[in-house]
Amino acid sequence: MACHQMKDKRELIRVVKSPEGGVFIDPTGKKNGRGAYLCKDPACFARVRSSKLLNREFKTEIPAEIYEQLEEQYGGE
Ligand SMILES: [Zn+2]
């Protein structure tokens, strides 16, 4: 999403906005809703987070927990 590189979906993290309006991480890639893909490059995620690209993409406020959960996906330890 941040770098616009085409990558295999297995190398991407899918974030979904459900029809009800909730935003969550979709590890299975199968949930209904509007999806955005983030690549697994931590530098990309840093850019997405700092520029709040997900907020813009989904036109909604993304809860801080979502960014925290995403950070874990990038191996935050
Ligand atoms: Zn990227």
CATH code of the domain covering residue 56: 3.30.1230.10
Strands 12-17 and 34-39: antiparallel
Tens of pLDDT, residues 22-48: 999 998 889 999 999 998 889 989 999
Q: Is residue 60 domain-resident?
A: yes
How are strands ordered across the β-sheet holding 34-39?
23-25, 12-17, 34-39
> 4 lies in a domain?
no
Residues whose Cβ atom is located within 5 A of ion ligand 1: 3, 39, 41, 44
Q: Is residue 53 part of a domain?
A: yes
Contact indicator for 20, 52 with CB cutoff of 8 Å: no
1: in domain: no
Is residue 54, in this structure, part of any structural domain at all? yes
What residues make up the domain containing 64? Answer: 11-73
Domain-located, residue 65: yes
Tokens 């909730």 belong to residue: 22
pLDDT reported for residue 4: 66
Nearest to 69 by CA among 51, 49, 44: 49
Cα(35) to ligand 1 centroid in Å equals 15
pLDDT at 40: 86
Quote the tokens at residue 71: 């950070």
Total domains in the fold of the chain: 1
